Amino acid sequence: MCLVALAIDQDRRFPLVIAANRDEYFERPAARLAWWASETGTPEILGGRDLRDGGTWLGLTAAGRMALVTNIRRPGSVDPTAPSRGRIVPLWLRGDLSADRFWMQAALSGHNPFNLIAADFRRGECYWASSDVPSPRRLDRGLYGLSNAGLDTPWPKVERLKEQLAQALPHCTSAQALSARLFSALADRTQPDDAALPHTGVALEWERLLAPAFIRTPDQRYGTRCSTLIITERINKRLVTHVFERTFPAGGGLALLRQSTLRDWPPKYGEDSTATAESAPVSESEVTASAEPAKRTRVRSLLKPEGKRRRAATTL
């Protein structure tokens, strides 16, 4: 991914929302949203797939793991022989290591500069890790933004997407309504003033081309390949997660929408149970979600509260 906004436990009805764009050269082959296994005998992953190197930019498993990766824009630090950063995501998804142990493995793998957001909802944990920092940072409930720099670096498109997500959450009464607003936000081609542009080591012309949320270069060779939404909706006491992917052809034209609905996902932390997500088909037709409002009852956070984490650490 190259632009991400993430809201965790910011809204009673929508406890988890991710809105993201993937920018890439159109000549690089990729598969659309589907269930697939990175290796024989490993858990299936729901997400798109890089057909050149076999990884993915964003994916999740029925067992409650989720991850996404972005590159860090630093032209002078790119090694063309380095392994694909997209391989980090399935490595996290098919494993069971804690974030700190996984990071020791990933940080020494020789990848070009990257960011990783990795969650294990069975443990009630979500982390941001970066090749620029020595250890993962645990994310608590909040609203976060990420592009091709560090977490919450205030690039104009990051700040704008975070703001649009924050404004949409309290005003939408269904996942379909929220998805419409977020897809519109991800399609934003607003060009900020030159004074607001980041300085990442590329030419000013490229900084301008890469500044909007939705990117398309004049030669049509590079741009936003897909927009992905993960929207978890609380309906009464049940969680229903909708995964939407809108893919865009190189020369313009109609975008293709794919969708999968996962019931009882994410799983509750502390419960060793598998969601029914593996049997959820990926559809190319829209499914209307229930607009039944969530009851005003006490609800459980997706992330384990600080007090419970400390008690668990004391017990170990």
pLDDT tens for each residue of 122-179: 999 999 999 999 999 999 999 999 999 999 999 999 999 999 999 999 999 999 999 9
Which tokens hold the place of 64? Answer: 């409650």
Q: By C-alpha distance, which of 65, 51, 22, 28 is closest to 227? A: 22
Going by C-beta distance under 8 Å and a sequence separation of 6 or more, which residues neighbour residue 92?
A: 65, 67, 102, 106, 116, 118
Instruction: Report the alpha-carbon angle 171-255-3, nearest 5.
Output: 60
Q: How confident is the model at residue 277 (pLDDT cuts 50, 70, 90)?
A: low
- Region at 88 (left for phi over 0; alpha for psi -120 to 50; beta for the rest): alpha
Cβ atoms of 170 and 11 within 8 Å: the answer is yes
Domains in the chain with CATH codes: 3-315 (3.60.60)
d(CA 49, CA 60): 12
Beta-strand (E) ranges in 197-292?
Answer: 222-235, 238-247, 256-263, 282-283
In this structure, the strands spanning 114-120 and 30-37 are: unpaired
Reduce the DSSP state of residue 12 to 3 states and report it.
coil
How much is the average pLDDT of 200-224? 97
Q: How confident is the model at residue 308 (pLDDT cuts 50, 70, 90)?
A: low
